Copies of this chain bind each other. A is one copy, B any other.
């Protein structure tokens, strides 16, 4: 494999002037950074850091590969029922690693591979349309993913899918068309899976949703659609080695975390914009948005004191969003760190045909390639941000493939863990998601939430002058 490259130079004042970080402050943070890396190394695999070991779970991988091989040619559609961490990794893998228009191709053009759908919402119009018009149940495999089995959105979809499979194919066919990925023992879905004799996979205790892409959650759908999950894990393992080093100036995850932390602390820059220059990486940015936001947006520090910290991730896509967001990035407030993700080599080289040789606004394109143009746009935007004194960094993938995407996932996961230590918060919980869930349960009449329902009903009326 070829390792990813990292360029952090444009975050510092030497490159972009006083709006950049002071190198001395990075040096002064040395002890904290080293302590954070060491903590991550020393506790790896413990508590909610089970994801550290996912690149090495060969037994699980073998089971997945066998299953995928056995199912080859039997399904036209794989449908993931899952939300958040059960969905975003698979979407990122699909966008990066299969044909860019995979789901739009007819069966005979996909080389025997099924389409891959991720139903990550509960929109009734979208769901009704999907089940009525998109799939043929007799050729469809559903994968329901929920660690607890109590995620309202996923379980509602599950109830609907089961009903439809039973109605269309018969009760005895459910187990041929449904796989469960859930906790090994706890929760609601495990006993159902066991009772019904479903093929099932385990999400380890120490693997939270947003750190689950390299578990069966991401690996099973990927393998079913022909992605090279062994290369994905090999990339992650290789990056794991790199990100262990306590010599933090050689550790990309540590620098990524430390720079974001300092940008926030020293420069009040609390936005992390991820902007890949490759359509295939668009949804890696989306996956990163969950990872970074849900891990670092926390109200309390480890010692219980108020925090209300976190840098908010924003996804963008080059070159597309140069025509949408870059105006804000170059001229708006100095509140962002932009993370470019470049690609050295695309699979195809595509030439821009030569025409209009005498038209000045077009002649320079003649005979050049889209590859060159993409590269010029990325570098051009980097230069423009530097001229505008904006912090930016670049991660470069030699190419977009399973190995490099595995590297990128793992680097960002370790960076998130290290950033959590620098912010002195728990990067692995998500207490802030509970409030909305509880209020939703109360409105839906779930048992045990009667008090909350009363509280909601008894809310004072809103100020009418603000209701239009």
Please judge, given known A-B contacts A123-B374, A297-B331, whether A162 and B355 are in contact too, CB under 8 Å: yes
What are 26 inter-chain pairs, A to B, with CB distance below 8 A? A5-B468, A7-B462, A104-B134, A105-B133, A122-B377, A124-B349, A148-B361, A159-B352, A188-B359, A249-B465, A250-B468, A270-B333, A297-B330, A299-B388, A307-B331, A310-B333, A312-B328, A322-B433, A322-B437, A328-B432, A330-B436, A360-B448, A364-B444, A379-B439, A380-B439, A383-B439
C-alpha gap A323/B335 in the complex (Å): 25
Asked whether, in the complex, the Cβ of A160 is within 8 Å of the Cβ of B383, the reply is: no
Please judge, given known A-B contacts A5-B468, A361-B150, A447-B363, whether A125 and B84 are in contact too, CB under 8 Å: no
Please judge, given known A-B contacts A373-B444, A435-B387, A468-B5, whether A280 and B352 are in contact too, CB under 8 Å: no
C-alpha gap A104/B298 in the complex (Å): 40
The A278-334 residues at the B interface (CB cut-off 8 A) are 278-280, 289-290, 293-294, 296-299, 307-310, 312, 314, 317, 319-320, 322-334
Contact of A159 among B128, B162, B355, B436 (CB under 8 A): B355
C-alpha gap A14/B448 in the complex (Å): 30
Query: Nearest residue in B to A270 (C-beta to C-beta)?
Result: B333
C-alpha gap A2/B60 in the complex (Å): 55
Asked whether, in the complex, the Cβ of A447 is within 8 Å of the Cβ of B309, the reply is: no
Please judge, given known A-B contacts A100-B126, A325-B293, A388-B432, whether A361 and B156 are in contact too, CB under 8 Å: no
Q: Which residues of B contact A448 (CB under 8 A)?
A: 360
**Does A24 touch B at the CB level, under 8 Å?**
no
Query: Nearest residue in B to A445 (C-beta to C-beta)?
Result: B364
Asked whether, in the complex, the Cβ of A436 is within 8 Å of the Cβ of B383, the reply is: yes
A-B CB proximity, top 5 nearest: A84-B323, A297-B328, A297-B332, A384-B435, A380-B439
Asked whether, in the complex, the Cβ of B124 is within 8 Å of the Cβ of A346, the reply is: yes
Point out which of A105, A432, A446 has the most chain B C-beta atoms below 10 A from its C-beta. A432
Please judge, given known A-B contacts A109-B133, A279-B125, whether A298 and B331 are in contact too, CB under 8 Å: yes
Query: Nearest residue in B to A123 (C-beta to C-beta)?
Result: B279
The A122-154 residues at the B interface (CB cut-off 8 A) are 122-130, 133-134, 148-153
Asked whether, in the complex, the Cβ of A365 is within 8 Å of the Cβ of B159, the reply is: yes
**Does A155 touch B at the CB level, under 8 Å?**
yes
Please judge, given known A-B contacts A125-B100, A133-B101, whether A323 and B209 are in contact too, CB under 8 Å: yes
Q: Which residues of B contact A101 (CB under 8 A)?
A: 129-130, 133-134
Q: Which residues of B contact A48 (CB under 8 A)?
A: none
Q: Which residues of B contact A5 (CB under 8 A)?
A: 467-468
**Does A121 touch B at the CB level, under 8 Å?**
yes
**Does A75 touch B at the CB level, under 8 Å?**
no
